[in-house]
Structure 1
Amino acid sequence: MVDLKQLEQDLTKPSAALIADIKKIEGDIILLGIGGKMGVSMGKLAVDALKAAGMNNRVIGVSRFSDAKAKAELEAVGVATIASDLLNDAELQQLPDAKNVIYLAGNKFGTTGKEGFTWAMNAYLPGRVAEKYKNSNIVAFSSGNVLPFVPVTSGGVAENVTPEPIGEYAQSCLGRERIFEYFAKQNQTPILIYRLNYAVDFRYGVLMEIAKSVLNEKEIDLTTENVNVIWQGDANEIALRSLLHCEAPAKILNVTGPEILSIRWIAEEFGKIFNKSPKFINQPAGNALLNNASECHRLFGYPKVTIREIIDITATWITNGGDEFGKATHFQERGGKF
């Protein structure tokens, strides 16, 4: 039996590169929307990196904290938590100032039928936050969903390609980018727009979904046959290190792994581990949402955790009864409905 707690600890330690960079970050770090899939682990990583660097900067985590467990976890490791509804402007204005902001707030799943809320979270709130923290460095999370579908042979979409968002979620994400771009110019606020797809972790992600489909002998749709992924720990490190690369006008940065991966190949690799034959349906469309993250790799190097390691980690986690978030990525969605 594998010690899953030890496995997680081993894979979430700050790298030497992060520790070196965090020494250069002046002031406190506030994570807005820390209660989501990435925020809790990012908050812990920031605290660990600051401790390793011998720094006493505060890490502050803000969320509604509908999940009390997340709040307790963060406080246990030294993150100062604040329960706040960011859409309530009075509560937003009461938040402490911080020289460094990581903006994680947003809404994706359940957008259909609640479009107004999604637009408020993804396109209205960024303006309020940008005004509140106009004297800070801001890393603002965005999504590869703002980009057009491109041929799988294209190498992915670079930062200079014009967005073509499909569906209201993706459109609202572009709204978020444009609002942050506006305030970066208006107030000369240094901002980095962190365009991510897709983070994978022990508890969720594209690889978890494929692995479970193989293990449970469920059909895997190959219409979207290619994908980018990056280990969440690497994505967290890049987000924190990006605080040193915020610019005015805003800098856009694609964040993902270096490969354009085959869903079929990933499934077949899990098939070898589980001794199962994957079941596939449909023919590949030949295009997908794909990021070219070569600028990210130039700045920060390639991700530490490789795709084969992620496959092994995911298989180990599942077969040893590891817990899951139960939140699907919907990476195969082609019509923009979430």
Structure 2
Amino acid sequence: MKRIKLSGTGGRWLIISNGILGHSLMVLAAIKVIKDLYPDSYITMVVDDGSAELVRASPMIDKVCVFNRKTDSLLRQWELIKEWRRDKYDASIHFRSGVRNELLAFLGGAKARIGNKLKGSFQFLNHVGTDIKGVHVLEMRSHFMSFVLDQKVEVDPPVLHHDPQAEAEVEQVLSQNGLEPGKYIVLHPAGKTSGGLGWSLEHWAAEVAKIAKVLPIVVVCAPFEREAVKKAFKGDNIFHLGGSVAFLSEVISQAGWFMGNDSSPAHMAAIWGKPRVIVYSNGPEEFVKWSPLHPEECRVVLKEEFVEKGLAEPLEWLFMQ
């Protein structure tokens, strides 16, 4: 595609990623490519409310807009259109596919609207690329950003930044529960993308019963999972901590180790450099796409192996790290 016409020295960019948190983390990595090329760029990121606090902590992001496609009203969408028209964006980059997002960017006045082709759907894009399959999500982002910027670029693994408010909150909660930074393990035993509550809780519970005898375990989960997770994990040395996504990120950053299903918290643990054991339940294509960042710090266990053999050997490796 032709090079985007940018206002000023870096341009004004509308980055649309109102999908699951794992995708938004990888979009932060793609945004760094823009910032490296155009340090003076102005970047607005559109996310679900679940990702907003974590994204705000990034120094690359000048403004965060929250848009939940399934629940936000027509009035909220009209407010976004008016806001974006005032902000005068040179380009919208659509990491979250969908005609609704494209229409809002079109009505919001984004001059170049860039995304990948959707099968069997009319689109409001004026620069349409083609997604690639069978590769890691970072390679997908590299391919897409090379199209966006009209030059070959490589997207590196993402980084996270501390949120001062969440950091202070976590410090207080850890102290109240007698937990020392670096001396507890975080467990995320559920997650929609890893089979969810349908299979993993009883198997994780068997492992937790053994680990909690020697190490504090902090169990984290999404609000919709909390009741079932609390029921499955009870006893001494087990702590259920809940809060915002920024709070979750800080809890993981202070942990010594992480274990759980393939999920957004697992990606956070990778970004924070935590040794981890991750259980994957999806097929080979999804594993290639979401295989672990920094694999030298990770032991991968397939769902079938987990159910059949447990985690004795992988956890022995984990606690030697």
Please give the TM-score of this superposition, normalised by the length of structure 2: 0.37
Question: Greater relative contact order (Cα 8 A, min sep 6): structure 1 or 2?
Answer: 1
Larger radius of gyration: 2
Please give the TM-score of this superposition, normalised by the length of structure 1: 0.36
